[in-house]
Structure 1
Amino acid sequence: MMQKQRYYVTTPIYYVNDVPHIGHAYTTLAADVLARFMRLDGREVFFLTGTDEHGQKVEKAAAARGLEPKPFTDEVSANFRELAEAMGFSNDDFIRTTEPRHYRACEELWRRIHAAGDLYLGDYGGWYAVRDEAFYRESETVVGEDGIRRGPSGAPVDWVKEPSWFFRLSAWQDRLLAFYEANPDFIAPESRRNEVLSFVRSGLEDLSVSRTSFGWGVPVPDSPGHVMYVWLDALTNYVTATGWPNTHAERAGFWPADLHLVGKDILRFHAVYWPAFLMSAGLEPPKRVFAHGWWTVEGQKMSKSLGNVVDPYAVIGEFGRDAFRFFLLREIHFGADGDFSRRGMLRRLNVDLANEFGNLAQRTLGFVARNCGGVLPAPAALSDDDKALLDSAAALLPTLRAEIGRQAFHSGLEAVWSVIRDANAYVDREAPWTLRKTNPERMGTVLWTLAELLRRLGILLQPVMPDAMATLLDQLGVSDRSFAALEAPMPGGVALPAPSPIFRKVDDEAGKGV
């Protein structure tokens, strides 16, 4: 039996100093859609998410709560597991950097980098942002009118001086540039690739990769008092989860990862430091790193002080999980910044989902229930109009393979909605309510064509809206829901269950179902 092609997709591991918000949901949703799509397309998939639980920021957040770091991270990590369940994510593993398996992988990676001659012990003095867990060059910092020096993210920085292990990042400049040249798709989108190339070409400085001023981290092997820099620790999670350094582990064959999905603020760590660490340790870099944009809310940056942080649970409660999933991937081009607004959410639910798609299903299945005794008619000869509609639906799978494969979720969904709009126009042209009196055989062919189209749409949209599409496919009596099942058309003469609406509208003013 031929082995399935493997696909390994990851989210960043989320830092446990805060509660989950729309940004966390967005990245993991994109990974979930990719994982679901690849599974339906016959791949063997490994989808990883988890939490990053070490570092000075976590130590301080725990202290502020009057807790030791481990009980604090136990509590907050659970919040991210709960978000994954609430959003319907299908991750195969949830990794925590406080697990023994992760300590083993970090220690082995360190030893290999050390053996390669890329680590040395010295003293570090530099500008450090606790909030970002990042060191910045002085040229990257600015002193504001308030006298506070800040890094490029706006986080305050302090001068840190302490003994430290260093990674010889400066020695990797030419090798990284050669790697980017040989792998033009390694960083996406193109604008982010250009940013990384500019940063690396400007000259790389050796990187401090241990700390001695606090103790909440993975201990550095054979170096008492040192813990690993949180980013070296955190990035290692991607190989930890494959069972590394055990090359015979069940998931060992998934490395290198096919895709790391990250926010644009952490691209440098994934596209510069991470491949250098891996290549130093004798491991392959991931195949691709995609950095998406940030969400604003009603045109404003999300912040606790403004009280506008979007709570995913509240959105799910009002609009439904699948509508939220659809909105996040349909509203903007993945990779660009986007704005969350209630008006936009209502438009996507009430117009795209309820009016255009939901109404198409309701018109078709309701007509079969009322006028055909609940039995889907068998088709007669297909007209050119029927064939054109079904051909456009058949073209969707290769289109989606291409668009989702390059993380262009918005473009893929637009292609699907173009077919949905064509199908609604087809209903109006064919007018089955008139054919019922004038040409019942033709009416039956039209209804079968629409049902077959809905079957295809239901199967293809499962990765984005798994619950709603399960409901639609149940109403169509479809049991085989893999992409392979698209090859054989559905039979006619089959009794269908009673239909019910797939999407519920939400009133613009009161937020109540209408």
Structure 2
Amino acid sequence: MIHEESYFFRMSKYADRLVEYYEEHPEFIQPESRKNEMLRNFIEPGLEDLAVSRTTFNWGIPVNSDPKHVVYVWIDALTNYITALGYASDDQTNFEKFWPADVHMVGKEIVRFHTIYWPIMLMALGLPLPKEVFGHGWLLMKDGKMSKSKGNVVYPEMLVERYGLDPLRYYLLRSVPFGSDGVFTPEDFISRVNYDLANDLGNLLNRTIAMINKYCDGIVPDYASKVTPYDSELSTTAANVVGRYREAMDKMEFSTALSEIWTLIARANKYIDETEPWKLAKEEDKTAELNSVMVHLAESLRITAILLQPVMIETSTKVFKQLGLDEEPKGLQELRFGEFPHNTKVVAKGDPIFPRLDAETEVAYIQNKMAEGAKSEDTSVKWDPEQTELVSEKNKEIKYEDFDKVELKVAEVIDCRKVENADKLLQFRLASGDSQDRQILSGIAEFYPDPNTLIGTKVVIVANLKPRRMRGQISQGMILSAENPETGKLQIVEAPKGMPNGAVIS
């Protein structure tokens, strides 16, 4: 525990106002699970005031009125969002133009700073809040976080050098729902490259370019609609995909947006099988149908390349080049099926943009690269505990004397039920060695839909926490629970069943 003179920001004064803002602006914190974390972990237990200056070191920005204090780094960092735009300067043009921000996109580990401290600071200044804060997740491995000692570290530079930038960007945004934690495996990565990129997109482009050269002397025919029985379905699919893609991108549901693009790609591949252009080419009276098939395929690829631009920059350029286009980024409002430029000549011979990979070879390559970073199995020689970086969610170090003040006890759940008019609270009646049963309220109702299943469970409680009222009822302590970092699910910490009620945990 660090003792130092500090100035404090009375965050507690704004707690109710902040919760009210959350309720009135449900889109403010995304995904919604992040909002639940902020409420459950920081606000509902009682929002603490924030130390906004430090005196035990001198690096940082001095407080003008009291130079022995320096500004707490997060106060400095957060205000940069507006001071960089000229707030409170002689020229506020950029601030007035660009603030409030449409979105702050941050890692989930700093959501608290952006959705509690920052909004309250802005409220105190009388300034508008950013429209949205999106907390994205972490990229994990099957056995948890990446660690050299586990031999499961994957460096993006290695993947980009061997497979290119676009396949990695595609994989990360397609396989991992944005906002959630995701798991990387070499098998899944190579599978995505082979099936999605080489088979689906790559083959569609290769076949289209080859057929336009073979049947149309390399010139894309002019667009005509409803020439074959399958034209309308393909064009309708494209129009629907563009609409749903836009909605998904606006919500930052990138995995969904990419899935929509592959709906169009799959439909175009099926269109080839349905129309059988190789048969149309053999019949002189089917020239119109053959031309329609060629332009519909070329147009599907043009739409695909435009939609892929935010994610696969290099791939889009390659598709445009093979189609003979110099396509500029186009707003989705202006994107229409059937606008392929007149008299466009495709390349004479298209190179595969995603050659198919030997899955076994490439999976082994990635695994070997992961293993190269692993530490020796004999960790007893190299392990130095003094070099261990200790990780703490709280970022607050305490001394033993401080911990010794906390009294943990074993308690048995005698009864458990939901608190009336409080969706998140459970009311526990506990036998914990007191003169009679005690009551604790806990905000874990969403994780235990049937509270009766907890009756008889031995739990660990903080027995000497100062009682406080919640929803008009007394809560006499705290029940310990653990949070799964991958799912966000809370689970009560259970005590050994054989321990007597009231046994002190030390």
Q: TM-score, normalised by structure 2?
A: 0.67
Equivalent residues of 1:186, 1:289 under 8 A apart: yes
Give the aligned partner of residue 168 of structure 2.
324
Equivalent residues of 1:432, 1:446 under 8 A apart: yes
1:127-176 deviations in Å (ceiling 9; x for gaps): xxxxxxxxxxxxxxxxxxxxxxxxxxxxxxxx111111111111111111
Equivalent residues of 2:225, 2:232 under 8 A apart: no
CA drift of 1:349 comes to 1.1
Give the aligned partner of residue 178 of structure 1.
20
State the one-letter code of the partner of 1:486. L
Give the aligned partner of residue 61 of structure 1.
none
CA drift of 1:462 comes to 0.5
1:446 counterpart = 2:288:
no
1:356-381 deviations in Å (ceiling 9; x for gaps): 01111111012112332211123455
Give the aligned partner of residue 218 of structure 1.
61
The within-5 A match list for 1:89-488 is: 159-198=1-40, 199-246=42-89, 247-250=91-94, 252-382=96-226, 383-438=228-283, 439-481=286-328, 482-483=330-331, 485-487=334-336
Give 3-state SS (helix, strand or coil) of 2:3's partner.
strand
Give 3-state SS (helix, strand or coil) of 2:309's partner.
coil
1:212-260 deviations in Å (ceiling 9; x for gaps): 2222222222222222212112222322332323353346411111111
CA drift of 1:480 comes to 4.2
CA drift of 1:311 comes to 1.6
Give 3-state SS (helix, strand or coil) of 1:445's partner.
helix
CA drift of 1:209 comes to 1.3
- Distance of aligned partners of 1:298 and 1:285 in 2 relative to their CA distance in 1, 3 Å threshold: same
2:15, 2:118 → 1: CA distance? 13
Give 3-state SS (helix, strand or coil) of 2:7's partner.
strand
1:177, 1:391 → 2: CA distance? 44
Question: Rg larger in 1 or in 2?
Answer: 2
Give the aligned partner of residue 463 of structure 2.
none
- Distance of aligned partners of 1:505 and 1:227 in 2 relative to their CA distance in 1, 3 Å threshold: farther
- Distance of aligned partners of 1:467 and 1:485 in 2 relative to their CA distance in 1, 3 Å threshold: farther
State the one-letter code of the partner of 2:56. S
Equivalent residues of 1:187, 1:193 under 8 A apart: yes
| 1:511 alignment partner, one of 347, 362, 372 | 362
| 1:490 alignment partner, one of 340, 359, 374 | 340
2:166, 2:73 → 1: CA distance? 35
Give the aligned partner of residue 351 of structure 2.
500
1:369, 1:485 → 2: CA distance? 29
2:302, 2:109 → 1: CA distance? 40
% same residue:
44
Equivalent residues of 1:448, 1:492 under 8 A apart: no
1:309-356 deviations in Å (ceiling 9; x for gaps): 332211111221011111111002111110111111111111111110
1:447, 1:391 → 2: CA distance? 17
Give 3-state SS (helix, strand or coil) of 1:412's partner.
helix
5+ long unaligned stretches in structure 1: 1-158
Give 3-state SS (helix, strand or coil) of 2:281's partner.
helix
2:270, 2:11 → 1: CA distance? 59
CA drift of 1:492 comes to 4.5
Equivalent residues of 1:468, 1:503 under 8 A apart: no
2:344, 2:315 → 1: CA distance? 22
The within-5 A match list for 1:7-156 is: none
1:459-497 deviations in Å (ceiling 9; x for gaps): 111011011101111222333431355236114542222
Equivalent residues of 1:403, 1:411 under 8 A apart: yes
When structure 1 is superposed on structure 2, of 160-169 and 438-447 the one drifting more is: 438-447
Give 3-state SS (helix, strand or coil) of 2:230's partner.
helix
Aligned pair count? 355
Equivalent residues of 2:264, 2:300 under 8 A apart: no
2:154, 2:96 → 1: CA distance? 37
- Distance of aligned partners of 1:361 and 1:251 in 2 relative to their CA distance in 1, 3 Å threshold: farther
Give 3-state SS (helix, strand or coil) of 1:216's partner.
coil
CA drift of 1:511 comes to 3.3
State the one-letter code of the partner of 1:264. K
1:210, 1:360 → 2: CA distance? 60
Equivalent residues of 2:230, 2:275 under 8 A apart: no
5+ long unaligned stretches in structure 2: 366-506
When structure 1 is superposed on structure 2, of 311-320 and 298-307 the one drifting more is: 298-307
Give the aligned partner of residue 425 of structure 2.
none
CA drift of 1:201 comes to 2.5
2:137, 2:94 → 1: CA distance? 34
Q: TM-score, normalised by structure 1?
A: 0.66
